[in-house]
Amino acid sequence: MSKEREPLVTHIYTADPSAHVYNDKIYVYPSHDVPHDGEDNDNGDEYKMEDYHVLSMDDIGAECVDHGVALSEEDVPWVSHQMWAPDVAYKNGKYYLYFPARDKDDNFRLGVAVSDKPEGPFVPEKDYIEGSFSIDPAVLVDDDGKCYVYYGGLWGGQLEKWKTGCFDPEGKEPADEEPAVGPMCGVLRDDMLSFAEKPFHLEILDENGQPLKAGDQERRYFEGPWMHKYNGKYYFSYSTGTTHYIVYAVGDSPRGPFTYKGRIMEPVIGWTTHHSIIEYHGKWYLFYHDCELSGGINHRRCVKYTELHYNEDGTIQTIDPYDHKK
């Protein structure tokens, strides 16, 4: 039986969980860490993921089922390697798997694959989404039916190399006092396969209404976006990367701007942190990963979950992932 703050599965290494509720079941779409002995570096070469497994639970605390490989890099004509953190959206009676991977030129793009069932298998489009780049897609299907995909990651995610709209292999992060590089937002067409307009950078502001600075590493965006709604507000959450926090900002529109509010989770064991948030049977849950299962090896992670709590003013209570062991 899977339990709170314990690995959902232990027979494979999983990371970057995107959780959703379909047909009153919890489905988790993680990336799949392949064990190896290569080096760790800022380019992310240690993350050699090559396929996606779909996990599900009939209820919180129920046994977690691995439905097997739902999509592999061998299935996707444009992919060369590194299928990283995915997400899934449901619309038009179909399930759409969005995923990042390196193309034949070694640049990250976003692809999409389609299935009639939440567990897959998924059939990929022959090419990546035109105009897409970088990593970590997360999709919000809003109440009015419009769909937004949020994406982008620094360093290995190449986001800072696309500041001009074209790939610059020499692209750098801004200076510390300059506005941070923001995540991207793309509005999807009704077919869920292409952008309806040119993607744009989201604004994340401080308490004074000013853009977060690149040197503000405890609050600025790095990777791992997620969007959910609570009491009519849009909660945009993400990883700060170098400082290893999951934080959040709140806005009145899915297009932003968003105002930074605080931390959701303190650092976990391992370098990366990546999450998703769902409501299930009246309670809220945070799905995340750490490297506890592997004893701290950065590219051998495990997916976990824990309950998430809001204060009366709509702020989120900060979670210490290991306070239950103290």
- Active-site residue set: 16, 223
DSSP bridge partners of 26: 21, 57
Beta-sheet strands, E only, within the chain: 13-22, 25-33, 51-57, 65-72, 87-91, 94-102, 108-115, 123-124, 138-141, 147-151, 184-188, 200-201, 204-205, 223-230, 233-239, 246-251, 258-265, 275-280, 283-290, 302-308
Q: Are 127 and 77 in contact (CB under 8 A)?
A: yes
- CA-CA distance, 116 to 91, in Å (whole number)? 11
- CA-CA distance, 249 to 237, in Å (whole number)? 6
| Residue 5 burial (C-beta neighbours within 10 Å; 0-12, 13-18, 19+) | middle
DSSP secondary structure letter of residue 180: P
> In this structure, which amino acid lies at residue 279?
E
Checking DSSP bridges between strand 13-22 and strand 204-205, what pairing results, if any?
unpaired
Percent helix / strand / coil, the chain, rounded to 5: 5, 40, 55
DSSP bridge partners of 187: 148
Q: Are 2 and 8 in contact (CB under 8 A)?
A: yes
Q: What is the dihedral of CA 238, 318, 277, 50, to 10 degrees?
A: 50
